[in-house]
Amino acid sequence: MASEMRAFQIEEYGDPDVFEASTVEVPDPGPDEIRVEVVASSVNPVDYKIRGGNIPDFAPEFPATLHCDVAGVVDAVGENVDAFESGDEVYGMPGGAGRQGALADYVVGHAGTFAHAPDSIPLADSAALPVVALTAWEMLADKTTVDIGDEVLIYGATGGVGHIGVQLADWFGADVTATASSEAKRDLATELGADVTVDYTDTAVEEYVTEHATGGGFDTVFDPVGDDHLETAFEAVRPFGTVVTTESSAAQDLDLAPMHANSLELGVVLVILPVLLGDRQERIGDELETIATLVDNGALEPHIDDRYAFEEVADAHRRAEEGDFVGKLLLVAE
Ligand SMILES: NC(=O)c1ccc[n+]([C@@H]2O[C@H](COP(=O)([O-])OP(=O)(O)OC[C@H]3O[C@@H](n4cnc5c(N)ncnc54)[C@H](OP(=O)(O)O)[C@@H]3O)[C@@H](O)[C@H]2O)c1
């Protein structure tokens, strides 16, 4: 095989046009790693936050190949790896933060950061799932549990994480209330499985709590947005209830008095942590195996708003940062 490959890299932080097409050496897998021929990736906020220099601690070494999500075909296997063989169709979250990522012809990552891709959707489409589905899964199945009939409030219900959160909570049998800022987004949230939707831009928290929750608030509030949303989450949850979030921005000066007053639980997810630590990577692969089963059972489906070629990564980042999309933006290797 060729010893060189194409990669879309950044050599400095900057706006979306900072990406450059480069020719780099094809990486070889270490003993616990696999190499995957990349079919697709997708855009997550972490990718454009790294590109913009907002989270320098997460950046791979420069010149940096970004993007966390990947779907592709196993091409080489390290000597300690039993779970995969060449030709397997896989999806995963091997790098893009902490180590080189997926925006290239090949990516190498710890075998524990991959799983066999779902059979029931095109391989490329499974690249829309890893970051957002792992995050939603950890929020609803790791940081808390959701039982049949639980009242669950999902913020940001048509974003990447939220649109999986709605489907998962619905699959667990919850009574799902979803917030979204436009009518089109609320219609999509209903299609995804929300029982009721709320325009949070013109509805007071007390109003939607009174209308859609019993027991003084929701059993669980799912917050993949942060800031104001994390603050209102503490108003919308019932006494002894649970708030799960992806965010720390508000938490930096967050007043925990409302949590104390209502004896709340707070679960905070950092899904990329095993990649950053280079430890406990099997969490990722094990959860992705479960997620693939859910997809194949019809419980979950990624909603793909639009597709871009790798060469169009700057356009995809601009669109993602403008927030003018629902579900996911896919990047397809051509
Ligand atoms: N900690 C972790 O492990 C982890 C993992 C994944 C994601 N995240 C973080 O979670 C957040 C959501 O990720 P995502 O993939 O769901 O993002 P996304 O696809 O861009 O969706 C974000 C949603 O948030 C809502 N929103 C409210 N205010 C917003 C604002 N000022 N700007 C943009 N969106 C706003 C929007 O819904 P409405 O228009 O309906 O308000 C939008 O649909 C990001 O900050 C991301 O970095 C963290």
| CATH code of the domain containing 170 | 3.40.50.720
Percent of the chain having pLDDT more than 90? 93
Q: Are residues 149 and 179 in the same domain?
A: yes
Nearest CA to ligand 1 atom 22: 159
Q: Are residues 12 and 105 in the same domain?
A: yes
From 140, 166, 179, 246, give the residue whose CB has the most ligand 1 atoms within 8 Å, as the site to mutate.
Answer: 246
Q: Are residues 16 and 52 in the same domain?
A: yes
Single residue among 218, 248, 268 that ends a domain in this structure: 268
Q: Are residues 258 and 286 in the same domain?
A: no
pTM as predicted? 0.98
User: Which residue type does 313 have?
Assistant: V
How many Å lie between the centroid of ligand 1 and the Cα of residue 294?
A: 23
Q: Are residues 264 and 278 in the same domain?
A: no
How many Å lie between the centroid of ligand 1 and the Cα of residue 165?
A: 12
Number of domains into which the chain is organized: 2
Q: Are residues 8 and 115 in the same domain?
A: yes
From 155, 158, 161, 248, give the residue whose CB has the most ligand 1 atoms within 8 Å, as the site to mutate.
Answer: 161
Q: What number does the ligand 1 atom closest to the CA of 268 have?
A: 1
How do residues 80-138 score in pLDDT, each as one tens digit?
999 999 999 999 999 999 999 999 999 999 999 999 999 999 999 999 999 999 999 99
Nearest to 221 by CA among 249, 182, 258, 185: 258
Per-residue pLDDT band for 251 (boundaries 50, 70, 90) equals: low
Q: Are residues 70 and 173 in the same domain?
A: no
Q: Where are the beta strands (DSSP E) in 148-213?
A: 151-154, 175-179, 196-198
Q: Are residues 231 and 174 in the same domain?
A: yes
Single residue among 252, 268, 284 that ends a domain in this structure: 268
The predicted pLDDT at position 138 comes to 98
Q: Which CATH number belongs to the domain containing residue 12 in this structure?
A: 3.90.180.10
The predicted pLDDT at position 252 comes to 63
Single residue among 240, 268, 296 that ends a domain in this structure: 268
The answer to the question of residue 60 being in a domain is yes
How do residues 103-116 score in pLDDT, each as one tens digit?
999 999 999 999 99
Nearest to 38 by CA among 334, 247, 295: 334
The answer to the question of residue 138 being in a domain is no
The answer to the question of residue 136 being in a domain is no
How many Å lie between the centroid of ligand 1 and the Cα of residue 129?
A: 15
SS3 151: strand
Q: Are residues 279 and 305 in the same domain?
A: yes
**Ligand 1-lining residues (CB < 6 angstroms):** 44-46, 131-132, 135, 156, 158-162, 180-181, 185, 224-225, 246, 269-271, 323
| Cβ contact 300:294 at 8 Å | yes
Q: Are residues 261 and 214 in the same domain?
A: yes
The answer to the question of residue 26 being in a domain is yes
Lowest mean pLDDT among 88-92, 245-249, 305-309: 245-249
How many Å lie between the centroid of ligand 1 and the Cα of residue 22?
A: 30
Q: Are residues 252 and 286 in the same domain?
A: no
Dist CA 225 CA 115 (whole Å): 28
Residue 98 carries which DSSP code? S
Give the domain range for residue 253. 144-268
Nearest CA to ligand 1 atom 48: 246
Q: Are residues 122 and 148 in the same domain?
A: no
Q: How many H helices and E strands in the chain?
A: 10, 16
